[in-house]
């Protein structure tokens, strides 16, 4: 019996309800793909390429690192880090004195002209010299020490007769004393406590009195106390001291004061009557390089002794502080150096918590420089690509559309640009900018312009080839039949169909441009200090010592260039595959 017969009165028949379940469509389902827009279809193909996704992730990181990193960095790209350290610095200089120093007697004058004549006579071995009408005479007390006197003629002997001159009156016994000195071949005689000097002038002998004018010596007098400097620098004191030193005497007197002489090798110490050291006499000059610095006589004596003993190091204790000095000889000069606390640039500092990638040769934070350098390198890449694409689309579009003579002329123009040697031109241009001292920021824009102008020919050829194949297709025939103007047909209908290929070409070319910029920076022709680019940062690896000892100076920059170029290449390959309509879905 059928089921209908089993239905009781008033009971509704059961109806089997079949629920329709919407089946979920997956991204790679054929029905789903048919409903995707061209853009989504390209995106689907792109993300299916794992290398392209990896390249995109690398580029996202690089852009974040380069453009957002500097905003978060606590340092600027030109900030120089310094620290307190010590270094050997020149403190004093010393030299064996080879230039005569003059001490002029009170109320006397001995000018530069007089000194020149004295040196001329000294060189000729003559004892007298004239300056105008004045006659000078000098005696050598010791090697390098001379006493200079001016002669006042009072008589002359001519043809055996001694006659007074200049209105002088000859004292009694003058002629007899002169004759005695003449017979004994002496050049002076003493009468009544007065010294008379005999000199030859032409055929006459001139007899003159003398008075001190100056004192010339190679020795240096250093007072132990500054308040004694005026006395020690006086003519009378130095003459008395030098006469005693010449005679190797142990004492001498000056102004009713007795002084003792203590002889050391190369230095003589003058001691006053209270037993205190008064002055030091030596032929070695020791002076501070900073004129505001005062060098004690004890310090000078220590340095002189070290120089005489050919020592390269010495120590000196003053005010309870012992300091070590080094002595470097350069020709005839001695440079005394000591370790001095000073503020130093922290060069080539290894990575630390404060500076994760260390400090460079200018004391700047390497990571911060890499961040700002990434801005420059990426900016140069994109601007150059834009310039290349803009010029290439215009030239290639016009050439491919019109063909014929226009195409021939423009392609020969492209060949002309292709024949220009790229690196020689860029090197010459960089040298010109160096000579003109172009501002670093202006240099960047000029560099981008040159790279863009020299690199557009490849884009032009690609655009021309594509348009040559597209202009004969039906949609272009229809566009021409509707009367659309030529510029609109080229740039609204032809060029958009070439854009996928241009995008692929430009993306792949970005890596090459970044390498070119890095190469120029490495050669010193790119971005200039204080601005940074990855190429200029890696330039330090040209020094073998830096390359082998400070890896953080060049490896991070090299890795960033490598990863960035690799990322652009992966993305370029991914876009090429995504835009290819023959790709499998």
CATH (domain of 457): 1.10.3720.10
Confidence of residue 86 (pLDDT cuts 50, 70, 90): confident
**pLDDT beyond 70 at 569:** yes
Looking at 277, 297, 326, the residue that finishes a domain is 277
**What's the Rg (C-alpha) of the chain?**
49
Asked whether residue 215 is domain-assigned, the answer is: yes
Confidence of residue 581 (pLDDT cuts 50, 70, 90): low
Give residue-wise pLDDT tens across range 218-252: 998 989 888 888 898 898 998 899 889 888 899 99
Extract the tokens encoding 246. 């010449």
Domain identity same for 268 and 302: no
State the average pLDDT over residues 482-494: 74
> How far is residue 456's CA from residue 568's CA, in Å, rounded to a whole number?
19
Domain identity same for 435 and 538: yes
Confidence of residue 291 (pLDDT cuts 50, 70, 90): confident
Q: DSSP code of 94?
A: E
> How far is residue 217's CA from residue 202's CA, in Å, rounded to a whole number?
31
Confidence of residue 21 (pLDDT cuts 50, 70, 90): very low
Domain identity same for 524 and 556: yes
Extract the tokens encoding 10. 């008033």
Select from 579, 557, 445, 561 the least CA-distant residue to 511. Answer: 561
Specify burial of residue 281 (Cβ count, 10 A radius: 0-12, 13-18, 19+). Answer: buried
Specify burial of residue 1 (Cβ count, 10 A radius: 0-12, 13-18, 19+). Answer: exposed
Asked whether residue 114 is domain-assigned, the answer is: yes
Domain identity same for 222 and 297: no
Q: By mean pLDDT, which of 8-12, 53-57, 65-69 is the weakest? A: 8-12
Domain identity same for 118 and 229: yes
Hey, is 190 helix, strand or coil? strand
Assess contact for 170 and 164: CB atoms under 8 A: yes
State the average pLDDT over residues 497-510: 79
> How far is residue 344's CA from residue 341's CA, in Å, rounded to a whole number?
9
Asked whether residue 501 is domain-assigned, the answer is: yes
pLDDT of residue 538: 84
**pLDDT beyond 60 at 311:** yes
Domain identity same for 329 and 389: no
Domain identity same for 103 and 150: yes
Extract the tokens encoding 108. 């006397």
Give residue-wise pLDDT tens across range 537-555: 888 877 888 888 899 988 9
Phi, psi of 324 (to 5 degrees): -95, 135
The percent of residues above 90 in pLDDT, for the chain, comes to 19
Select from 466, 455, 449 the least CA-distant residue to 500. Answer: 466
pTM metric for this prediction: 0.57
The percent of residues above 70 in pLDDT, for the chain, comes to 92
Beta bridge partners of 346: none
Domain identity same for 542 and 432: yes
Range of the domain at 112: 96-277
From residue 89, alpha-carbon distances to 96, 159, 288, 361 in Å are 22, 70, 12, 21
pLDDT of residue 10: 46
**pLDDT beyond 90 at 556:** yes
Higher pLDDT, 307 or 517: 307
Domain identity same for 199 and 148: yes
**pLDDT beyond 60 at 1:** no
Asked whether residue 86 is domain-assigned, the answer is: no
pLDDT of residue 15: 45
State the average pLDDT over residues 375-397: 89
Give residue-wise pLDDT tens across range 421-446: 888 888 888 888 888 888 888 888 88
Asked whether residue 85 is domain-assigned, the answer is: no
Q: By mean pLDDT, which of 2-11, 154-163, 372-381, 564-573 is the weakest? A: 2-11
Domain identity same for 63 and 187: no
Residue with tokens 């005679």: 247
> How far is residue 471's CA from residue 398's CA, in Å, rounded to a whole number?
12
Domain identity same for 186 and 248: yes
Sign of CA dihedral 405, 407, 411, 414: positive
The tally of CA atoms less than 13 A away on the side-chain side of residue 174 is 21
pLDDT of residue 6: 46
Give the Cα-Cα-Cα angle 285, 300, 321 (nearest 5 degrees): 150
472-479 contact pairs (CB < 8 A, 24+): none
Hey, is 198 helix, strand or coil? strand
Give residue-wise pLDDT tens across range 119-177: 999 888 888 888 888 888 888 888 888 999 998 888 888 878 888 888 788 888 888 88
pLDDT of residue 20: 47
**What ranges make up the beta strands (E) of 331-407?**
333-345
The tally of CA atoms less than 13 A away on the side-chain side of residue 374 is 27
Asked whether residue 539 is domain-assigned, the answer is: yes
pLDDT of residue 26: 52
Q: Give Cα 434 distance to the centre of its chain.
A: 15
Q: What is the 3-state secondary structure (H, E, C) of 514-562?
A: HHHHHHHHHCCCCCCCCCCCHHHHHHHHHCHHHHHHCHHHCHHHHHHHH
pLDDT of residue 18: 46
Residue with tokens 């492209």: 414
> How far is residue 198's CA from residue 155's CA, in Å, rounded to a whole number?
10
Q: How many domains does the chain have?
A: 3
Give residue-wise pLDDT tens across range 334-376: 999 988 888 888 889 999 999 999 999 889 999 999 999 999 8
| DSSP sequence for 427-471 | HHHHHHHHHHT--HHHHHHHHHHHHHHHS-HHHHHHHHHHHHHHT
Looking at 221, 253, 277, the residue that finishes a domain is 277
pLDDT of residue 9: 46
> How far is residue 354's CA from residue 371's CA, in Å, rounded to a whole number?
16
Give residue-wise pLDDT tens across range 179-200: 888 888 888 888 888 888 888 8
Domain identity same for 334 and 425: no
pLDDT of residue 48: 86
State the average pLDDT over residues 514-536: 81
Asked whether residue 80 is domain-assigned, the answer is: no
Confidence of residue 36 (pLDDT cuts 50, 70, 90): low
Asked whether residue 30 is domain-assigned, the answer is: no
Looking at 230, 250, 277, the residue that finishes a domain is 277
């Amino acid at each position: 019996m059928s089921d209908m017969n089993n239905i009781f009165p008033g009971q509704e028949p059961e109806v089997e309800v079949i629920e329709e379940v919407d089946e979920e469509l997956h991204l790679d389902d054929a029905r789903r793909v048919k409903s995707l827009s061209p853009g989504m279809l390209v995106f689907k193909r792109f993300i299916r390429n794992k290398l392209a996704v990896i390249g995109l992730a690398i580029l996202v990181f690089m852009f974040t690192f380069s453009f957002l990193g500097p905003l978060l960095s606590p340092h600027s790209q030109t900030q120089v880090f310094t620290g307190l350290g010590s270094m050997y610095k020149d403190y004093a200089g010393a030299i064996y004195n080879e230039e005569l120093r003059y001490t002029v007697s009170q109320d006397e004058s001995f000018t530069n002209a007089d000194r020149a004549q004295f040196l001329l006579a000294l060189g000729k071995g003559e004892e007298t010299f004239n300056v105008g009408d004045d006659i000078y005479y000098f005696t050598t007390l010791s090697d390098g020490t001379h006493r200079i006197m001016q002669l006042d003629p009072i008589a002359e002997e001519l043809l055996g007769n001694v006659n007074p001159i200049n209105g002088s009156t000859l004292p009694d016994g003058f002629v007899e004393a002169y004759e005695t000195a003449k017979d004994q071949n002496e050049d002076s005689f003493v009468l009544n406590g007065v010294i008379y000097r005999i000199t030859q002038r032409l055929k006459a002998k001139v007899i003159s009195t003398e008075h001190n004018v100056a004192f010339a010596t190679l020795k240096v007098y250093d007072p132990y106390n500054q308040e004694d400097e005026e006395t020690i620098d006086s003519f009378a004191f130095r003459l008395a001291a030098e006469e005693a030193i010449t005679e190797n005497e142990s004492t001498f007197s000056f102004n009713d004061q007795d002084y003792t002489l203590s002889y050391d090798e190369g230095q003589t110490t003058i001691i006053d009557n209270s037993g205190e050291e008064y002055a030091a006499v030596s032929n070695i000059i020791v002076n501070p390089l900073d004129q505001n610095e005062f060098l004690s006589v004890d310090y000078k004596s220590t340095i002189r002794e070290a120089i005489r003993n050919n020592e390269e190091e010495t120590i000196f204790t003053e005010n309870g502080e012992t300091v070590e000095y080094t002595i470097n000889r350069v020709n005839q000069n001695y440079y005394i150096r000591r370790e001095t606390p000073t503020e130093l640039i922290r060069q080539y500092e290894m990575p630390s918590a404060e500076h994760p990638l260390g400090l460079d040769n200018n004391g700047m934070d390497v990571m911060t420089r890499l961040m700002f350098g990434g801005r420059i390198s990426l900016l140069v890449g994109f601007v150059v690509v834009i310039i290349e694409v803009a010029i290439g689309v215009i030239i290639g579009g016009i050439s491919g559309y019109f063909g014929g003579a226009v195409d021939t002329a423009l392609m020969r123009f492209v060949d002309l640009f292709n024949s220009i040697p790229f690196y020689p031109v860029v090197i010459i241009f960089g040298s010109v900018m160096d000579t003109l001292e172009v501002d670093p920021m202006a240099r960047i824009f000029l560099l981008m312009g040159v790279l863009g102008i020299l690199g557009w020919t490849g884009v032009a050829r690609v655009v021309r080839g594509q348009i040559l194949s597209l202009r004969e297709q039906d949609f272009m025939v229809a566009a021409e039949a509707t009367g659309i103007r030529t510029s609109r047909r080229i740039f609204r209908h032809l060029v958009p169909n070439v854009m996928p290929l241009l995008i692929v070409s430009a993306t792949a070319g970005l890596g090459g441009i970044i390498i070119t910029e890095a190469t120029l920076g490495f050669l010193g022709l790119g971005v200039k200090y204080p601005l940074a680019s990855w190429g200029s940062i890696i330039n330090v690896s040209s020094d073998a010592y830096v390359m082998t000892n400070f890896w953080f100076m060049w490896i991070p920059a090299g890795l960033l260039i490598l990863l960035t170029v690799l990322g652009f290449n992966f993305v370029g390959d991914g876009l090429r595959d995504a835009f290819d309509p023959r790709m499998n879905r």
